Structure 1
Amino acid sequence: MTSLPDAGVRPACPADAQAIAAIYAWHVANGTATFDTVAPDEATWAAKIADFATRGFPFLVAEREGDVVAYAYAARFRDRAAYAHTCEDSIYVTRDARGGGIGTALLLALIAAARASGFQQMIAVIGGGEPASVALHGKCGFAHAGRMRNVGFKFGRLLDTVYMQRDLREEDPSP
């Protein structure tokens, strides 16, 4: 477990599914970082956590005082064999825990876990080009890799997707 002043990072377990579902549901209803318009239920998240464990993909949570306040995971970027060493990350933090360093600690822990899982490249696909997510990924060593304009439609407007990339074979940056 990675320690923070008031939080810790650990592997997710199926018992975390309810908290993860609630975190993601808030982002679906209120943000553009995801283009989902209907949030998956708790059972879907529990199955995903179990599937990731079986496949050896990292799925982490950050806790503060026993409550899950953020989660992150990495899975293969695409299913084709040529992409076997490239993963895509997802990270979501509760609105109350943003800005306190939890996202940075969690993403750095995910980078290390993805590297240990055999991934060599990590891709961030940032819906809406969310400035906080772009800044977080930049702080953790990701470089801008591209922008797809007007590919999503949510909350009555067209949205871009920003791609960022991190070579997992390189040393970790010091945020």
Structure 2
Amino acid sequence: METGESGAGSCVLRSAEVGDAAALAAIYAAHVESGSASFDTVPRTVAETEEKIRDIREKGWPFLVATRGSEIVGYAYASQFRDRPAYGFACEDSIYVRSDHVGQGIGSQLLAALITQSTAFGFRQMIAVIGGGEPASVALHGKMGFEHAGRMRSVGRKFGRWLDSVYMQIALGEGDSSAPKREPDERKAPSK
């Protein structure tokens, strides 16, 4: 998959590859070390990032990188919102843009493509869990049609201060207006 648009903020989007791990780890590390978007306090290693790419791709979920020329300037992926089977149609988005490229439309381009690919996968709801209630992330998700779904106050602590998590949500495809073609794996109680 490769997409691109013309314009100052445009970049080329493609599927993530394991070989991208060092660049993605560096982008994530900058957010962990200086921001509240991630509640991690220690950045992922390159090896952990390689494993994340493999895991998401093996499940068929979208994992995108944004490039300008030969440089990776951002990435986004969707993963199942929670690991229990009944959550199988809800995903959580994660988007990180290299700090020297923030505010250039890359996040919008990544999120639009992520919504499209997550819908194609069969997810029916996308949840944004916005660490620190980051205003730029709230604005980005609102611009893309997400609605406020809640705020968990002071659930994180980083850089000597309490942090909220803001939840935003958007329906994908038919949302909850129809039943999916497949049901999640459910364990049935033994018959008596």
TM-score after normalising by structure 2: 0.87
CA deviations 1:44-82 (Å, max 9, x no partner) are 111111111111111100001111100000000011111
Provide the residue aligned with 1:3 in structure 2.
4
1:152 counterpart residue number: 156
Q: Which structure 1 residue ranges, 5 or more long, are not aligned?
A: none
Correspondence 1:30-45 to 2 at 5 A: 30-45=34-49
SS in 1 for 2:140: helix
Deviations 1:72-118, CA, capped at 9 Å, x for gaps: 00000011111100000000001111111111010000001111111
Which of the residues 140, 146, 149 maps onto 1:142? 146
By how many angstroms is 1:169 displaced? 1.7
Among residues 114, 118, 124, which one is paired with 1:114 in the alignment? 118
Q: Does 1:52 align with 2:64?
A: no
Give the match's secondary structure for 1:36: coil
User: Which deviates further from its counterpart, 2-11 or 91-100?
Assistant: 2-11
The sequence identity of aligned pairs, in percent, is 60
CA deviation profile, 1:120-167 (whole Å, cap 9, x unmatched): 100000000000000111111100000000100000000100000010
| SS of corresponding position for 2:51 | helix
Q: Hey, what's the Cα distance between the residues in 2 that align with 1:36 and 1:98?
A: 20
What does residue 93 of structure 2 align with?
89
RMSD after superposition: 1.2
Instruction: Check the 8 A contact 2:25/2:43 in 1, yes or no.
Output: yes
1:166 maps to a residue whose letter is I
Partner of 1:17: 21
**TM-score (normalised: structure 1):** 0.95
Q: Size of the alignment, in residue pairs?
A: 171
Distance in 2 (alpha carbons) for counterparts of 1:134 and 1:74 = 17
Greater C-alpha radius of gyration:
2
